[in-house]
C-alpha cells in the first residue's frame, strides 16, 4: 500500500524534518507512527497524502509514484484516502452534516446517497444529535469525531489519522479505537500518528518509532506488552 525509499524532507536546509525514511506498509495493516512532539509524524503523513513533497527519495502510494504522476490525478488518489488532521480542518460555519458530506459531494455523489451515508457514519462516531450544529460551538472531542467521520465516510482504502484521540477522554478513545478496528476489518489500511503510549495497547499492531526525523525501530505490540521484532532503521516486511 505504501512504500517509502530513502525519503528526506527538509523544510529548511539546516534542520531536516525527516531523514532517510524507508518503510513498507502492506494493504490491510494497522500501523502506529509513534514518537515525541516534533519527531516528524505529521510530516510523514503529509508526504503520504501528497500534501508535502519529499526533498529526496521515492514515495509510492497505492501503486502510484508521487514523483511521476500528473498533478490532476492527486484529487483522484485522495478520494481513496481519508485524513484526520491534527487541527481537524473543519469548515467552522458549515453544519456537521455539510462538513462530513463534503467528502462525498466533491466526488459527485447524489444527495440522497450522501444523506444516507453521512447519517450512518455520524451514528458510528456518536454525533447523531449534532447533525445541524456548526463545529464552532462543538467541544474539541466532538470536532475531532466530525473530522474522523469525514475521513471515513467515503470508505477509503487508506486512513491516515494524526493524533485522532488527542482531545478525547479514555472512554471515547476506546470507542474511536474500536471504530478504527472495525474499519480496519473491512480491509482499510490504517496509519495513526500519536505520541500517546497508551494507544499502542489497544491493538496488537505494528509501531514505527520516530525520533528526530529518523526511524528508531519497528515493533509489534500486543496486549501483553511490547516486543521488538524488527531492526533499527529497518522496514516492515
Partner 1 sequence: MKRFYYFINKAFQNLRHFFLINLITVGIISLSLLVLSTFFMVFLNLQTYLNKLRDQIQVSVYLADGNTPEDISLIQKKINSFPQVKKLSLITKEEALSFFKDSFPGQRKALENLKDNPLPASLDIQLQDEYRGSEKVKIFARQIKNIPGVEDVEYGQTWIEGYANFLKFMRSAALAVGVVILLATIFIISNTIKLTLFARKDEIEIMKLVGATNFFIRVPFFIEGILQGLLGAFFALMVLFFSYQLFSNWIGQSSYFSLKFFKIFFLPFHHLLLITAVGMITGLLGSFFSLGRYLKYE
Ligand X SMILES: Nc1ncnc2c1ncn2[C@@H]1O[C@H](COP(=O)(O)OP(=O)(O)OP(=O)(O)O)[C@@H](O)[C@H]1O
Strand, helix or coil for residue 157: coil
Query: Would you count residue 83 as binding partner 1 (CB under 8 A)?
Result: yes
CB of 221 vs partner 1, minimal distance in Å: 30
CB of 99 closer than 8 Å to CB of 91: yes
Query: Would you count residue 212 as binding ligand X (CB under 6 A)?
Result: no
Query: Would you count residue 13 as binding ligand X (CB under 6 A)?
Result: no
Q: Which does 195 bind (CB under 5 to 8 A by kind): partner 1, ligand X, Mg ion, none?
A: ligand X
Query: Would you count residue 36 as binding partner 1 (CB under 8 A)?
Result: no
CB of 19 vs Mg ion, minimal distance in Å: 17
Q: Among all residues, whose Cβ is closest to Mg ion?
A: 42
Give the Cα separation of 163 and 84 in Å (integer).
8
Among 41-49, 68-76, 129-137, 141-149, which window interacts with Mg ion (CB under 5 A)? 41-49
CB-based contacts of 204: which residues, under 8 Å, 6+ apart?
220, 221, 222, 223
Pairing between strand 158-162 and 16-25?
A: unpaired
Give the Cα separation of 33 and 159 in Å (integer).
13
Q: Which does 93 bind (CB under 5 to 8 A by kind): Mg ion, partner 1, ligand X, none?
A: partner 1
Strand, helix or coil for residue 56: strand
Q: Which does 17 bind (CB under 5 to 8 A by kind): ligand X, partner 1, Mg ion, none?
A: ligand X
CB of 211 vs ligand X, minimal distance in Å: 9
Q: Looking at beta carbons only, is 89 or 178 nearer to partner 1?
A: 89
Query: Would you count residue 72 as binding partner 1 (CB under 8 A)?
Result: yes
Spatial strand order of the sheet with 205-211 comes to 81-84, 158-162, 189-194, 30-34, 205-211, 214-222, 225-228
Q: Which residues bind Mg ion (CB under 5 A)?
A: 42, 86
Amino acid at each position: 500500500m505504501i512504500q517509502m525509499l530513502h525519503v528526506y524532507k527538509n523544510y529548511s536546509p539546516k534542520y531536516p524534518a525527516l531523514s532517510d525514511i524507508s518503510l513498507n506498509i502492506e494493504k490491510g495493516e494497522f500501523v502506529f507512527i509513534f514518537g515525541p512532539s516534533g519527531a516528524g509524524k505529521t510530516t510523514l503523513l503529509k508526504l503520504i497524502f501528497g500534501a508535502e513533497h519529499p526533498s529526496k527519495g521515492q514515495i509510492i502510494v497505492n501503486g502510484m509514484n508521487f514523483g511521476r504522476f500528473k498533478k490532476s490525478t492527486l484529487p483522484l488518489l485522495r478520494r481513496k484516502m481519508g485524513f484526520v488532521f491534527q487541527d481537524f480542518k473543519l469548515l467552522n460555519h458549515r453544519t456537521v452534516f455539510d462538513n462530513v458530506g463534503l467528502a462525498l459531494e466533491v466526488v459527485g455523489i447524489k444527495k440522497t446517497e450522501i444523506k444516507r451515508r453521512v447519517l450512518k457514519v455520524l451514528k458510528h462516531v456518536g454525533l447523531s444529535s449534532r447533525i445541524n450544529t456548526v463545529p464552532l460551538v462543538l467541544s474539541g472531542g466532538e470536532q475531532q469525531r466530525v473530522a474522523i467521520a469525514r475521513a471515513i465516510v467515503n470508505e477509503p482504502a487508506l486512513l491516515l489519522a494524526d493524533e485522532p484521540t488527542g482531545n478525547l477522554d479514555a472512554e471515547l478513545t476506546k470507542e474511536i479505537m474500536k471504530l478504527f478496528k472495525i474499519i480496519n476489518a473491512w480491509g482499510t489500511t490504517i496509519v495513526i500518528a500519536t505520541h500517546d503510549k497508551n494507544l499502542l495497547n489497544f491493538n496488537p499492531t505494528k509501531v514505527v518509532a520516530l525520533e528526530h526525523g529518523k526511524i528508531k525501530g519497528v515493533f509489534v505490540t500486543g496486549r501483553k506488552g511490547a516486543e521488538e521484532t524488527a531492526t533499527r532503521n529497518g522496514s516492515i516486511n
